[in-house]
Each structure stands twice: as C-alpha cells, then as structure tokens.
Structure 1
Amino acid sequence: MTRIYFTVTNSLVYDQRMQRICTSLANNGYAVTLIGRKLKSDPLPEKTAYRNILLTCFFSKTILFYAEYNIRLFFYLLTQKMDIICAIDADTLLPCLFYSRLKKVKRVYDAHEYFSEQKEIVIRKRVQWVWQRIEKWCIPQFKNGYTVNELLQVTFQNKFGVNYTIIRNLPIQPADYPSNNTPLANTKVILYQGAVNHGRCFETLIPAMKQVNAQLWIIGTGNFFDAAKQLIEAHQLTQKVILTGALLPEKLKEITPGAYLGLTLFEANGLNQKHSLANRFFDYIMAGIPQICVNFPAYAAIQQKYPVTYMVDDTHEDTLAAAMNKLLNDTVLYNQLQQQCYIARKELNWQKEEIKLLLFWKNICIS
C-alpha cells in the first residue's frame, strides 16, 4: 500500500479541500496521513479514513510561526516512513524538499495558490522577497504537482519550468440537494464564506451594506477578522453584518443553501488574486444560489459556459451595493442564474474531478 503524507500549516477540521483529497485517496487504497497545525480553539478532527497528525507550536503568527512549524515538521517527518511526500502551498515546501532528498522518496507540490502573490504578502516587500526566494529554489525541484486552473498552470510553467496538472477543488454533489432552498432568516441573507483575509474587499463590502436591504453573514476567520469587526462597528452595522467565525464543514453545508446569494470577491493586488479560483465559487453553485463575482479570467471562463453569477468589473462600494441590489430585486435574472447553478453542479462536482486526482496519483506511483 502506497504511503502518502500531506503537509499543511492550517487547522485540519475546517479544510474541506484536504478532507476531500485525503478521503478520496484513502478510499482507493492509499495509506494517507495529513499533518496540520493544532490550535487551542479548534475541536479535534473526527475519525476519518486517513490519519490526522497535529503539530503544536509556541508561536501562532509572523515569520516566527512559519520558522517554528517548518522545523517541527521536518523533525517529525524524520521519524516517519513514507513513499511520497506532498507539500501543500509554499509554506511547507522546505521541510518536504529536505526530507525527500534525504530519504530519497518522491515529492509532489500541491500548488493550490501562488503563495508569494497573496495580498498580505505582496504589501510586505521583505516578507515577499523571502517567500519568492523559497519558491524560486524549491518549486523547480518539485517536477510533479497540480494546481487549480489554467492561468496558474501557465504561470508556474513560465516562472518555474514545471508542467502541473489541473485538479480543481470542487464540492461533493449530495444525492439529496434540494432544488428549492429554505431561507436562513426572515430577511434575505447575503453570504460570504471562507478566509476573512486581506484582499477580500471587506473595506468596501461592509460599508456597501448601508445601501442594501438585507443581512450579510461573514463565515470564517483570518488575518482581517478583527479589522472587519472594527469596520462593522464604525459603520454602525452590527445588526446588519454578522460575523459568525469559523464553522465546521457539516454546519456550513446546512447554512449555504439557505442564503439568497453568495459573494466571491478579491482585490486585484497580486497575481494570486487575479488568477484565483476560490472554493466558495463552486460551493455556491453546488448550493444552488447565484453569486456576485469579480470579473477575473478564471471565473469569466466558467461564466461563459455556465452563467451562474453576476460579475462586477471593480469592487468599489457603490459597485458592490448596486450589484447586490440588482440580484435582490430582479427576480427574473435571479431565477435565470439559479437555474444555471442547478445545471452546472451536475458537471462541476468532486465526483467527476476525483477521477483526475486518482489518475494523477496512479501515474506518480508507477513513474
């Protein structure tokens, strides 16, 4: 049985992407171990088809956390035996590279995003320089890997000389997803789910809600969470904009179909945002709710085939308010987009994308 280890720096209980990947591989005969970070506030992972390992760190943020976690991860890996090591994003590249060279095992890079081009890194030039150096040295040594769309595939090929497979992070299609969604509340709910991070347009989205007759639920945590709370208070929107914090995937799957519409918004700072293909984009489609989405190339390509979203060319306050009001009031357009969601989710689901994942790992094992 092929032993595969995956490494991330985040919590394991909220990472639906890695849960899907690891479950698919474990259910198809691989011995899978997922290594992540232990946070005091997180519940322990439930029993899964794969093994979960949590590393505890003294530091929780800044470069000190990444340095500590990478050191702890490397020395933990030295105590393990495996056939393949897979780094998830650039923040675990170094220990995986060192281990694979030392132990002479195959290595794979899961390039879920262009790490050094995230806004929170782009705006800190010294920090970006460090991550760019790590990517420049490590990624060309990971000849096998996959990413989430054609734009990132081409970027990695031009920048690092690697030819990665495309495996999108699509949600599982339940057998019993309803075609008529039950509303979450008496008022219409606009939903943002995902990381509450810099670059996700909260600076304009939150004040835009003053012009919108609906509630905004922000589900998630991240490095902009405290700032988002301050913005809500500063604009006196505590009754209209609700910060729930992170929710377990099972709870989120219950909530999402009850929202009226979703939001997939990014600022155009950094290639990572411009070339993104966010998980939430597909989650909204699977839940059967139209969404407002920034008009970036990866989303525009899907929109051309499946018109499931109302696209905006900028994320200014008035633009977002007008877009939300458009979908809240134009029932004909809303129903057209919703019907397209029902059509699209028959194709844009994990059951179909899983086939690509299994073929990729089969080829890695026999190469």
Structure 2
Amino acid sequence: MKKAIHIYLSTFENESRILKQTKSIIDHKIVDQVIVLARGKEGLPEFENISPGRSVVRVRSEFMKDKIPLRGFGKITLLLKMMDSVLKFYKIIKKEKPLFINLHQVALLPLIPIFKLASRKSKFIYDAHELETETNGLAGNRKNIYKKIESKFIKSFVQVFVVSPSIEKWYRDKYGIKNIATVMNCPIYKSSIKNNLFREEFGISNESRIYLYQGALFKGRGIEILLDAFAEINDPKYTLICMGYGEFESEIKEYAKKYKNIFFKTAVSPDVVLNFTSSADVGISMIENVCLSYYYCLPNKLFEYLMAEIPCIVSDMPEMRNYINKYNTGVVCKGTDKQSLINSILEMDNFDYQRFQQEVEKCKVVFSWETQEKVMINEYRNLLLNHA
C-alpha cells in the first residue's frame, strides 16, 4: 500500500489547500492512504477520519501550545517537549513507511534527517504556502535562522510546490532548483450560485453595491484603509461588508455602529462561504506591500471572488495586477491610501460587467482546483516513474 504523510503544525480544522491536495492524490491513485500529522488541541479528537483513505492524527504535546516559556529552565523544558513531539512524529513515520512525506512549513525542515532515519526510502516534498522566509512579521534572528534552514535543506526535496509564478521564480533564482512547480490555491469549481444572503440579513437595498472583504482581519490586509474609505464615502449606495475573524473585528464593529454603509459578518464555514461571497457585487483584496511574500502573492480570495462570479479591486502588485489586466476580472487600485481606494470604488461604476460575465466561465475553469491539480498530479506521476 502506497502512503503519504503530510505534516502541518496547525490544529487542522479548515486547512483547505491540504484537504484538496490529499483528496487529489487519493482520487488519482498516486497513493492509497494519506495521514496528516497536526497539532493537538483540547476539544479536538486525536484521530479523525476525513474520508476513505484520509485521516488526521493530532499530536498532543506541551511543545505544540501557542505560548512557550523561553526564560531560565523554560529553555530546557522547551527542548525536552520538542524532543517529545519529534519522537511521536518519528514513531508514526517509522510505522507507516510512507512513500511521500510532505512538509508544509520551513520550521519542519531541520527534522528531515530524523525522518529519514525513520523511513529511508521516503521522498520529501516541500509545499510552501507562501514565500516562507519573507512572510509578514518574520524578522530579526528568527528570519535569519529560517533563511539558513531553508537554504540548507531545500535540495533535500524531490519536489517543491509554490503558490504563484513570482514565488516560483524567486525560489529558482535563490536556490538554483529545477524541481519546482506553481500550484495556485484555487477553489473547487462550482457553477453559478448567486444568492442574496447579505441583503436579506442586513436589510441592504437592491440599489446598493455591496463590496466584500472576506478572510483574516489582520494587519497587512488593508482593513484600516477599507474602513476609512467607506467611512469617507458614507453613502449606502456603496456598502462594505467585512466577513472574517481576527484582531480588527472589534474596530469593524465600532465603524458599523457609526456608519450605515459598513457591516461586520462573522466568518462562516468553508462549506458555505461561496454562497455568501456570491451575495456581494464586488470583492476586495487590498494586501499591503509589507513583505516580499505579500508582494508576490496571489490570494485564494481572488479566486473565491471569481468562482462566485464577482469582479474585484486589488492592490497594485505584480501577480494581482497581471491577473486583473489579463483576465478583465476587476480594477487595480493605484495606491495604498484612502483616496486611491475611493477612486477605485468609484471606478467600478464604469466597469464592463457585461464583458466580465461573458468571460467569467472560462476564467473559472482556468482558476479552479481541477485545473491546478493537473500540474500537481503530473509532478507526482513523474516522481512515481522515477521511483519505479
């Protein structure tokens, strides 16, 4: 039986990319079984079946907690707890002897020698969910350490997957690797699913154009610019809905109390998110250029907006700009200030919706998971040929 193990240090509750990847390699008979090793959490089962052939094992350990003491004897304790977690991973890998071991974070790379001892014939795959050593908030010694780790271990992988062409080029230029491919984080294809959920829930009139931000409500995502721009407009004809979770939630709620054209919607299940997305008229992705990973990004939200058949406003950064200009999927905001965003919001009044609707079906196919998985499966098949 051919097996794969994916390791990702989250609690694995809604990890859409890994869920899609693991389903694809089962469906296409690359492997017969997939085990996802994740982080334990109170209230979540240690073992969980996702679907036939796919399961999650959540490793419970003090090391996996969000906050770890780093003072005095805490450092020794931390080391022991890290060893405990690694030992649990080691035992599972040794028992399962997977054909593929997929690592999804740069912090896991130093464990490759240990995992190789557990299963010498396993092939290692690196799935970089972003430009891993150039992420938002990564700085100082930690950033330097991550760079050294990635540089040292990157050639241990038989295959590297990344999420945008610019990030692929960066990895190729930086490390001189050739076994790399872009697999964008696109949603599974869905036919037209138009709804009116937002208008029904918030009593928004049909004359109002609904602008939607959905996703994490953290710094670097343009939330403050959005709130200031719609507060300045202060006209129900232009309505903003922020749907998600994160540190800006309370601030959005305060704006919603003051302005009749701003609303907050709690994050919804991935199973129904596109039903809500399709209830908006325009999506917004104002990622700020605070790190190289963001500068080169192609957020999955862009493709969710597309799958919901709504155009979007995006930041003026290479991949997002190319996506808009090449496929006529929205408007590029020329700046990162309030007035630039207001200009883009007003520019949507003259957007060619008819042309967009004529071409949206073709674009949905291009940016669906069904198209992206072909790239991934092709690379896996090449690896199987080399393994035979």
Same fold (TM over 0.5): yes
Counterpart Cα distance in 2 of 1:42 and 1:247:
19
Q: Deviations over 1:34-74 (max 9, x none)?
A: 22234458799773241112234546436769989965652
Matches within 5 A, 1:102-251: 102-104=118-120, 105-121=122-138, 124-163=139-178, 164-174=180-190, 176-178=191-193, 181-182=195-196, 184-185=198-199, 186-187=203-204, 188-212=209-233, 213=236, 214-221=238-245, 225-230=246-251, 232-233=253-254, 237=258, 240-251=261-272
Q: Which whole-Å CA distance do the structure 2 matches of 1:232 and 1:155 have between them? A: 39
Question: Percent of aligned positions with the same letter in both sequences?
Answer: 19
Shift of 1:9: 2.1
* Counterpart residue number, 1:48: 51
- Do 1:308 and 1:338's aligned partners in 2 also have CA atoms closer than 8 Å? no
Partner of 2:373: 354
Give the counterpart letter for 2:157 in structure 1. Answer: F
Asked if 1:325 is matched to 2:325, the reply is: no
Q: For residues 25 and 259 of structure 1, do their structure 2 counterparts lie closer, same or farther at Cα, with a shift above 3 Å needed?
A: same
Matched residue type, 2:7: T
CA distance in 2, matches of 1:253, 1:146: 26
Structure 2 match to 1:257:
278
Once residues 379 and 256 of structure 2 are traced to their aligned partners in structure 1, the CA distance between those partners, rounded to angstroms, is: 49
Q: In terms of Rg, which structure is larger?
A: 2
Residue 7 in structure 1 maps to residue 7 in structure 2? yes
Cα RMSD after superposing both structures:
3.0
Q: Secondary structure at the match of 1:36?
A: strand
* Aligned equivalent of 2:66, options 54, 61, 64: 61
Question: CA–CA distance in 1 between the matches of 2:221 and 2:361?
Answer: 27
Question: What's the offset of the Cα at 1:149?
Answer: 2.2
Q: Which runs of 5+ in 2 are unaligned?
A: 71-77
* Superposition deviation, residue 182 in structure 1: 3.6
Q: Closer, same or farther in 2 for the Cα pair 1:191/1:9, shift >3 Å?
A: farther
The CA deviation at 1:227 is 4.0
Counterpart CA distance in 2 for 1:320 and 1:68 is 50
TM-superposition CA deviations, 1:287-336 (whole Å, max 9, x none): 10111111211123333331102111222112122322332x44x53443
Residue pair 2:48, 2:57 contacting (<8 A) in 1 also: no
Q: 1:177 to 1:96 in 2, by over 3 A?
A: farther
Distance 1:115 1:200 in 2: 18
Structure 2 Cα separation of the partners of residues 68 and 215 of structure 1: 53
Quote the Cα distance in structure 1 between the aligned partners of 2:300 and 2:80: 28
Matched, 1:37 2:39: yes
Q: Which residue of 1 aligns with 2:86?
A: 74
TM-superposed deviation, 1:143: 4.3
By how many angstroms is 1:101 displaced?
5.2
Q: CA 1:236–1:182 in 2, change beyond 3 Å: closer, same or farther?
A: closer
CA distance in 2, matches of 1:362, 1:134: 28
TM-score (norm 1): 0.86
Q: Which runs of 4+ in 1 moved over 6 A?
A: 41-46, 63-70
Give the aligned residue type for 1:271.
L
